[in-house]
Structures are given as structure tokens and as C-alpha cells.
């Protein structure tokens, strides 16, 4: 039976992007194409996304993950396979998916003696697709030795790979702060409880919070509002913020400090402050043991660069906390440079065979390793 090539898969996905938690057509398309492939079993543990299982023995499994969702961005590439709707695969998930699809084809063709799960994951862009799928218990049925993911990036030269041996993406949490005070005419400031004042104290205190300077930390408010009319002191205010730390533990610790600080500001201002943490994405923590074993082998065939930690989040962090894991940046830079999420970011198709070969090499190295 004839199935689409990895590059055709990429074109199809790129033309028909679907937003986080709306990847219905994408899931159906991948399911349909992978159903044609002999030698794998398909699973749909969650509403969206799917897992292809390659099983040849009673041993352990490797887990490879790609993300399938797109962004709410209007494409500006002018490409012949450009998006047909208002979304865009501006974070390269179409490429990741095509590479993982290609890895499936390569594995069933070469039939190595190592079990694998290929996870086409939904909702990476803030939807918590990794955790949602893990929460179904599906992966608990498998002895997973380690997990891997790739992420394209113009920061690195075409065909190179980059990672590090500690943390690649920060732990990220969404934080809402609500301030409830009492309105008063601006001419009578002592008659009210001014939430704008409490909000400013709060942001000031966070800027000045004692912390370990070696540990990257970020608290940033993207949306802030206070009050309703010019001449009444604001009775209500809110902050929508995100906090990024080197680890989930650090995230918990800093959140505790912020809550304590808010209590003091409540006493100081009389304004009620409610600090809510909406979600915590774990950091993408690279397994040092795995790194030390694999990198020397990879260096023989690839340009392997050291990547700095970034204060962005990636929900592959969920797997990093379950299994020894590595996420690799896959360099896509040629002449033009565009950052991820840019309406003109467009890795070229020929990175796809490079990614497939790289993952299969990784696969081969690990097949030679002793089982769990």
C-alpha cells in the first residue's frame, strides 16, 4: 500500500494547521496514514494525538515524541504549501511530526530489535497535552527506558544539534493576582483601599525579592489592569503573570515566598490579595547520564553544540520527570533567520531526512545498550 512520504506529511500539516486542543483533522490524517503502515499498532489514549507502537520483544521501550498543534498566527511566508487558514505551524511542529512519521517508516523498514513508542502529542502550546495524555495512565503499561524529542530552531546552523546536560527549558507557571480594595474619590484617598497602590507594592516587592542570583528566575506580568474611572481610586485590580524558574521545586519555593509577601502587603495596604497559580509546567531537565553516554557517539557524525537554558517552557518536561530524557534542538538556519513563532519562520523540507537519520542513529546507539 502507498502512503504519504514524510515531506508530503509535512506539506499536508503545514497547509492545514490546527490550534492547541483542536487537532482533530491532524489526528485523523496521521491515524489514516499510519494505519497503512505494517508492523505497528496504533493507540489513541487521549481524545487527540496518537501513539504508534513497534514491539518486537519483551524488553523495554524507547519513547520518541513530536508535537502536532499549531499557533494562532497568520502565515507570511508566501510558500506554495502555506497555511490555508488563520493558524500556522510557526513553531515547526509540522517538521517534528514529519520527522517522527519518517522515523516510523524507517523503523518498520529496518526492523531493529528494540521496542519503540512514537507519540504524536497534541496541545504542546499551553494546552498541557503531555500531562493530559500521561494522566490517562497509558504510558504506565510500558517499561520506558528513556524518551527523546527534537525541536527545530534557526538559532543553530542547518543540520547541527544542540542540547545541554542540565536544564534546557525553564519550569513555567501561570500566576494570577487579584486585588480587592475599596473605591474612593481621588480627593479623599484615606476613605478607600487603593488596589493600584497594592499592585505596585506587589510588583516592586517581586523585583526586590532576595533570591539566589545563580539561578535564573523570571516573573513577568503580560496583562495588568486597575480601576474603572479617572477620578475614583481603583477598587479592583489584577495581574496576569508567568513565573519561570530552573525547576519545579524552585517554582514551588518562589511561589511560597510570593504568597507570604502578598500577606504582608495585604496588612500594609488593607487590600485583599489573592495569588493563584493556574498551572506549573515542569522544566525540561536533560538526563546527565544519558547525555554523557550519547553525546560522544553523536559527535562522530554530527555537529553537536552546547545549548544554554532558555526561560521558555516546553511540556516535554513532563516526560523528563518520568524517564531519563533528552530534547535536542535541530538547527535549521541557512541564510534567513527567523525566531520561533515568527509568521515567516519556515524550516526547509530538507531538514526532514536529516532529522529522521539523526533519530534513527540515536535509536541504533540505544539498541546496542543493555536493556533495563
How is 130-192 classified by DSSP, letter by letter?
HHHHHTTTGGGGS-EEEEEEEEEEEEEETT-EEE-SSEEE-EEEEEEEEEE-B-EETT-GGGS
Stretch that binds its own copies, among 60-68, 216-224, 254-262, 350-358 (CB under 8 A): 216-224
Least distance (Å) from its own copies to the CB of residue 280? 14
Q: What are phi and psi of 171, to 5 degrees?
A: -80, 135
Give the per-residue contact string, 243-282, with its own copies (x = CB under 8 A; - = no). -x--------------------------------------
**Per-residue DSSP letter, 286:** P
| Secondary structure (3-state) at 25 | helix
What does the block give as the cell for 205?
Answer: 516587592
- The verdict on 190 binding its own copies (CB under 8 A) reads no
Q: Does 233 bind its own copies (CB under 8 A)?
A: yes
The DSSP H or E segment spanning 205 is helix 195-207
Comparing CB distances to its own copies, the nearer of 118 and 202 is: 202
Size of the site for its own copies (CB under 8 A): 36
- Span interacting with its own copies, options 39-47, 83-91, 240-248, 295-303, rule CB under 8 A: 240-248
Angle (CA) 119 247 69, round 5°: 30
Distance between CA atoms of 242 and 1, rounded to whole angstroms? 48
Q: Which is nearer to its own copies, 21 or 295 (CB)?
A: 21
Which of 56, 143, 209, 218: binder of its own copies (CB under 8 A)? 218
The interface mask with its own copies, positions 335-354, x = CB under 8 A, is ------x-------------
Which CB, 174 or 357, lies closer to its own copies? 174
Q: In 260-273, which positions are buried (b, 16+ CB within 10 angstroms) versus exposed (e)?
A: ebbeebbeebebeb
Q: How far is the CB of 162 from its own copies (least distance, A)?
A: 17
116 binds its own copies (CB under 8 A): no
Look up cell 542570583; give the residue: 213
How many Å apart are CA 114 and CA 340, to the nearest integer?
34
Q: Which of 7, 312, 323, 334 is the binder for its own copies (CB under 8 A)?
A: 312
Judged by CB under 8 A, does residue 209 bind its own copies? no
Among 116, 170, 262, 352, binds its own copies (CB under 8 A): 170
Can you tell me which of 1, 2, 229, 336 binds its own copies, judged by CB under 8 A? 229
Q: List the one residue from 56, 82, 209, 225 that touches its own copies (CB under 8 A).
A: 225
Q: Where are the beta strands (DSSP E) in the chain?
A: 41-43, 50-54, 61-67, 115-121, 144-157, 161-163, 167-169, 171-180, 184-185, 218-226, 232-233, 236-245, 272-281, 284-285, 304-306, 325-333
User: Residue 147 or 242: which CB sits closer to its own copies?
Assistant: 242
Residues 27-86 touching its own copies, rule: CB under 8 A, are none
User: At its nearest, how many Å lie between its own copies and the CB of residue 181?
Assistant: 13
Q: Interface with its own copies includes 242 (CB under 8 A)?
A: yes
Residues contacting 32, CB < 8 A, separation 6+: none
Interface stretch with its own copies, choices 9-17, 34-42, 232-240, 269-277 (CB under 8 A): 232-240
Chain residues binding its own copies by CB under 8 A are 170, 174, 185-189, 196, 200, 203-204, 218, 220-234, 237, 240-242, 244, 310-312, 341
Amino acid at each position: 500500500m502507498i502512503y504519504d512520504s514524510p515531506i508530503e506529511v509535512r506539506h499536508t500539516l503545514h497547509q492545514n494547521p490546527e490550534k492547541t486542543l483542536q487537532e482533530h483533522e491532524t489526528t485523523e490524517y496521521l491515524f489514516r496514514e499510519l494505519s497503512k503502515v505494517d508492523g505497528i499498532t496504533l493507540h489513541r489514549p487521549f481524545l487527540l494525538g496518537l501513539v504508534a507502537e513497534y514491539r518486537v520483544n519483551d524488553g523495554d521501550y524507547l519513547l520518541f515524541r513530536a508535537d502536532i498543534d499549531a499557533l494562532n498566527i497568520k502565515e507570511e511566508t508566501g510558500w506554495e504549501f502555506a497555511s490555508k487558514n488563520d493558524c500556522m505551524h510557526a513553531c515547526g511542529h509540522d517538521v517534528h511530526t514529519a520527522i517522527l512519521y519518517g522515523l516510523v517508516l524507517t523503523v518498520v523498514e529496518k526492523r531493529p530489535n528494540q521496542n519503540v513508542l512514537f507519540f504524536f502529542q497534541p496541545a504542546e502550546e499551553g494546552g498541557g497535552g503531555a500531562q493530559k495524555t500521561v494522566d490517562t495512565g497509558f504510558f504506565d503499561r510500558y517499561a520506558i527506558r528513556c524518551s527523546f524529542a527534537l525541536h527545530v530552531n534557526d538559532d543553530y546552523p542547518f543540520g547541527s544539534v544542540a542540547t545541554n546536560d542540565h536544564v534546557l527549558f525553564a519550569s513555567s507557571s501561570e500566576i494570577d493576582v487579584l486585588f480587592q480594595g475599596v473605591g474612593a474619590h481621588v480627593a479623599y484617598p484615606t476613605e478607600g483601599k487603593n488596589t493600584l497602590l497594592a499592585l505596585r507594592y506587589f510588583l516592586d516587592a517581586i523585583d526586590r525579592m532576595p533570591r539566589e542570583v545563580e539561578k535564573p528566575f523570571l516573573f513577568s506580568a503580560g496583562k495588568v489592569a486597575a480601576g474603572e474611572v479617572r477620578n475614583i481610586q481603583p477598587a479592583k485590580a489584577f495581574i496576569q503573570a508567568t513565573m519561570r524558574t530552573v525547576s519545579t521545586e524552585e517554582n514551588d519555593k518562589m511561589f511560597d515566598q510570593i504568597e507570604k509577601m502578598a500577606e504582608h502587603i495585604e496588612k500594609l495596604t488593607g487590600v485583599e490579595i489573592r495569588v493563584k497559580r493556574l498551572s506549573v509546567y515542569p522544566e525540561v531537565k536533560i538526563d546527565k547520564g544519558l547525555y554523557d553516554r550519547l553525546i560522544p557517539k553523536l559527535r562522530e557524525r554530527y555537529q553537536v553544540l552546547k545549548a544554554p537554558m532558555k526561560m521558555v517552557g516546553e511540556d516535554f518536561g513532563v516526560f523528563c520527570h518520568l524517564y531519563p530524557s533528552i530534547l535536542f534542538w535541530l538547527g535549521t538556519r541557512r541564510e534567513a533567520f527567523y525566531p520561533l513563532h515568527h509568521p515567516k519562520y519556515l524550516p526547509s523540507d530538507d531538514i526532514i531526512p536529516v532529522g529522521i537519520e539523526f533519530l534513527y542513529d540515536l535509536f541504533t546507539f540505544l539498541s546496542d545498550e543493555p536493556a533495563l
